Amino acid sequence: MTEDKVAMVTGSSRGLGKALAIELAKNGYDIVVNYARSKSAAEETVKEIEALGRKAIMLRANVGDVKKLRAMFEQVKEEFGRLDVFVSNAASGVLRPIMELEESHWDWTMNINAKAMLFGAQEAAKLMDNGGKIIGVSSLGSIRYLENYTTIGVSKAAIESLTRYLAVEFAPKGISVNSVSGGALDTDALKHFPNREELLDDARKNTPAGRMVEIEDMVKTAMFLISDDSNMICGQTIIVDGGRSIVM
């Protein structure tokens, strides 16, 4: 079994997850590419990683299903025998006003966004005998109101709370747990927002730093948290929004 470092990024066939997976590969990690729907997109991610000289395997799983999530980690154990980085990035959600939400909407969103981080972290920790890094991905909807964002916002708040609890219990194992929270990112996910243009316009006009947050900004912050330079950062959610969340 290889002793090269191994990273798993859930939802890594596109967007932020893909960008993180490729950056990790550039930094010497073999990559577990997880996807739920688009096999062709995941295959493209694998090709780009392999072109960098790193190994990549592609595993399909709805991370909100704990049985499938655990089976995926079993495959990682068989293939690599270890895990050094786990990024719980996969996300989904139902965008509706509160009075239109149904129980299934709540369960779907909480399972994929929050439950997957808890049980994914459990499984990841079992493969981190020499310590490791676990990263969650949140958003500003965890701390402020965004229209139609109830289920997602609450699930992201759960991620930030989980980050603190996981960090305390995993620190003695040499495992650091932190999260990265971003402002509005112009990704495929944002296309599902009925008020997408309003959110983007707000980010362009009202971000003190003078520009929107880019995927690269999130990747750089996550990579810092994954690096040894951040070893004493524990249980924190780092907001990457150019200052948007601290102004009216």
Residues with catalytic annotation?
149, 156
**CA–CA separation, 94 and 192 (whole Å):** 9
Residue 71: partners with Cβ closer than 8 Å, 6 or more residues away? 61
Q: How far is CA 68 from the centre of its chain?
A: 18
CB-count exposure of residue 58 (10 Å: 0-12, 13-18, 19+)? middle
Calculate the CA 149 to chain-centre distance: 18
- Output the six-digit token pair for 59: 């595993």
- Which structure tokens are listed for 180? 């990265």
Whether 33 and 40 have beta carbons less than 8 Å apart is answered as no
Amino acid identity of residue 52, one-letter, is L
**Which of 1, 44, 20 lies closest to 187 in space, CA to CA?**
20
